[in-house]
Structure formats: C-alpha cells, structure tokens
Amino acid sequence: MSQNVLASASGVAVQASRRRTFAVISHPDAGKSTMTEALALHARVIGQAGAVHGKGDRRGVVSDWMAMEQQRGISVTSAALQFSYRDTVINLLDTPGHADFSEDTYRVLTAVDSAVMLLDAAKGLEPQTLKLFEVCRQRGIPVMTFINKWDRPGHDALALMDEIEQRIGLKPTPLTWPVGIAGQFQGVIDRRTGTFVRMERSPGGADLAIEEEMDPAEAAKRYGADWDTATEELDLLAMTGADHDQETFLAATSTPVLFGAAVANLGVRQLLNILVELAPPPAARPTAAGTDQPVDAAFSGFVFKMQANMNRAHRDQVAFMRICSGRFERGMIVTHAGTGKPFATKYAQQIFGQGRDTIDEAYPGDVVGLVNATALGIGDTLHVGERVQFPPLPSFPPEHFAVARTSDTSTFKRFRRGIEQLDGEGVVQVLRSEQRGDQAPVFAAVGPMQFEVAAFRLETEFGVKVQLDHLPYEVAARTDEAGREILRTESNVEVMTRVRDGALLAVFPHRWRMRTVAGRHPELRLDT
C-alpha cells in the first residue's frame, strides 16, 4: 500500500475519532427539542435557546422547522444538527416527539453511535421510553440518561435509579448527583471529582446557566441538610457498585446518569462534556453480507431519511446520509449499491435545523444532506470502489388506514405529486386498492397523527385539500398473488398493493379476524 493511501486512511481514522454522533430520544414532552437547543447553546452555535417558557410561549426551536411543529410545540420529524465543541465534531439528531412517529425515530437510531435518553423527573419511565430503551438494547446502542426537569417537583432520585434498573435491566451509574430534591435544585456533585457545581438559572432562562464550583466543605456549610442527604445517597450508590464502567456502558448494559433541567440550561454543560469524553466515536459498521466496514475503508454511507420542502426558499428534496467509512468530497461520483448506477454528489449540504450550508468534505459519523436526490430512497447504500451494502432499515406494519380524496379535479396532478413525495419520505405508506382505483389512494400509518401531517403538508406545500375517510382495519400482513385470490372470497378483508415496492398487504379489522381466516386457509401466506 502506498504512503499516500496509508496517510489518507490514517487521516480518516483521526477525523472519525473526533466525531460523536448521537440521538436525543424520550417519551413525548420530556424535553427533546429543548435539550437539542440547550446543547447547541452551550456549544455557542446559537445565541439564545428557542424554548424558554414551555409550549405556550415557546419560540420555534432550531430543530423544529415545520410550521405544524412550531404551531403545536411538538416535534413530528427528525432533524440533524452539526457543531464543534472542544475540538470534537458533534452530530446531534433530534427525533420526533410523538409516539405516532416512532418509525422515524427507529430509523434515526440506525444512524447513530449512542443515544441520550431524557426522563421526566416527575414521570419516570413511560411507555415510549421503555420501547426506545429496548430498541437501543437490541441494536447495542450505548445510552446515557439525563434526568430532566429537576427544577420541578418530581420523584426521589434513588427511586428513579431503582426504576431504571428494575424495569429495563440497565445498571444506572450516576456521574452527577443532585443537591436538593426535585423542585429545589441547588446544583450537582460531580462523582468523578467530588466537586460541587452550584447552578442558577439565568434571568429569563434563555442564556447559559450561572455556575460556580465549590469545595465540599463550603457546600456543606451553605446547604446543610440538602448536602448531608446528597452525600448519604452517594455513599449508598458506592456501596451498591453504581460506579461508571466504560466497558459495560459501551456494551449497552449500564447507563451513565446525569441530572439537570434543559429548559433552564442546568446540567447541560456537564452532559456535553461527558458526551465528548465517554460517548463512542464511529466504528466499523456491519454490512448486509455479514462483514464489517472499517471507518478508514473507501467511502460508504446510507440514507436513513428523506425530507422535502424543509425551507420554503428551497423547494427541494433532501436525502440524509450517514457516512460510515472513508472521506466524502462534494462532487464525487459514487455508486448506488441497489442499482449499480453512478450518482453525482454535486449538491451536498450540512443541515442545521432548517438552515443549510454547502459542505465540501465529511467523515465517518457525519450526516450529509444530498439535495434533489430523487434517485435515492430510505435505506439506500452509496459507496466508492468495491460494492458495499448495509442492512435494510426497520419497517413497521401499519395499524391505521384512510382513503385520501380531493374534490377539486384541477389539483389532481399536484395531489399525485404530493402523495408520491410523502410516500418516498416515509411520512405515510401509500397503498393502491383495486376497488377504489388510482383516484383514491389509501394512506397507511403506524399512528393517526401521521395522517394529520400528510394532510397538512399536502395543503401547505402543494395547495391540495384532502378528505380522509378512515377504514375499519387495524392489522396488516404481507401476502402473495395466491393469497390475494384466496382472500377475494372473504368478507371484511382487503388486499392492497404498496406503491413503493409493489408488496401485497392483506388488511383485517382485528387480529381475531386474521386468525380466523388463516385457520380456514392453512395454505394462506400471511407475514406480519
């Protein structure tokens, strides 16, 4: 191997080691977008956090770019932010804040190397939180836990540690510990150094928190009973072996825990520092062939998200690509692994919420936006040189179905164009029903709010008002042509074609009906 090639590979490895790519995930309303803003604020890439008074008053956060998100104060799409902090390049992926968009969240989790899980101090582990922890465990994704909203009344800190360990089987290993119960937050003890950091919300809460390091003796004198309680709890943690272990953290069997309040920017600096110091950099990535793609191999990456019309000034479609190996250069010709065809990367951008800048180079761990990438789809692999194919992204069977119609025939072309776009982005699955025809496609979704987003975007982006008539189906299973013929004889059952890939989906009103039909036709193929 030539010296130039060795130097190039070494340079890629060094750049990859500087990257930290992670997602912020949680149950709805736990503060994901607020935390995203707070992290960006501490890295000094924005001047003020956009969420300062909760949903009623909140400004539009950087990562919530869609008008519907800004109006409702929730996140319904994932977003990518990149910034530098302490000579480290942070790739932060914010995820949807509503359970109906869990499929988007799970796709994002394929593109990260670690995750920050937010827990609401007053609510603890909630259903969506449990699901996300399980997904991270299955994928071997190391998770850091941030107990959020400690400036409000909430559960006991030790009780939250017990809940994490008992309900999800992860060993909590707190790195910071609060002085003062939830709602009376004075600051945190750094368990690694023993120092106390007094924290005070800045006036208005939109700027960096006021912090002061104090030695234990001074803190004990000032905070009395609160300090005594915190140190007694720390002794209990030490006795139970709740100390950070990097090996078990990287193996996704323990979770470092920190305390704070993102909306007041309390404890956020500590989280950002811990991410830089302990979160894993990009590493060799498994391929569909069962091999590992080293970070210093030739360029490769995969598309984990498609999004159009993020900014009304840019009426285009962006493919979000996670770089897995090699050095990416804008303008390079890569190969589409699925088709074998070349793909030009002339329009490559770095995305910061709804903002964007042209990017000339990127490295493993980075997320690049490929603009007007109409030839790409979710899950596609791009590479240079020897063929590389990464595993397909997770897909979820729909549980809600609705017929979409427009009464204004003059908008039908825009209606079709909009539906094709939403289907390609994965906002909804689009099905074709024989009995309804092409004029009335069927939307299929994991959660009903996906229908709201689809209708909202069709109206605001394409000028098409749609009527959605819900269908009485709750279960879908893949079948084949033989299955279609068998099911023609059954009532309350329908077979539709998924437009994206031509798959046949048999839909049923409930699982009991599906089991009844399957029992009557043993030869019937039904894959759920």
Q: Which residues are annotated as a binding site?
A: 94-98
Query: Does residue 100 sit in helix, strand or coil?
Result: helix
Cα–chain-centroid distance for residue 200?
Answer: 30
Per the CB < 8 A criterion, the answer to whether 528 and 397 are in contact is yes
> Contact 261/38 with Cβ under 8 angstroms?
no
> What's the token pair of residue 178?
């609060």
332 vs 343: CA distance, rounded Å: 8
Please provide the DSSP assignment of 159-223 as one string. Answer: HHHHHHHHHH--EEEESEEEES-TTS--EEEETTT--EEEEEPPTTSSSPPEEEEE-HHHHHHHH
Among the listed residues 161, 103, 106, 95, the one whose alpha carbon sits nearest the alpha carbon of residue 138: 106
Helix ranges, 251-396 (H): 268-278
- 21 three-state secondary structure: strand
Q: What Rg, from alpha-carbon coordinates, does the chain have?
A: 25
Known binding residues for GTP are 94-98
CA-to-CA dists, residue 62 to 49, 57, 74, 82, 349, angstroms? 8, 15, 12, 12, 17
Residue 296 makes CB contacts below 8 A (sequence gap 6+) with: 9, 10, 12, 13, 16, 325, 326
CA distance 133 to 351: 27
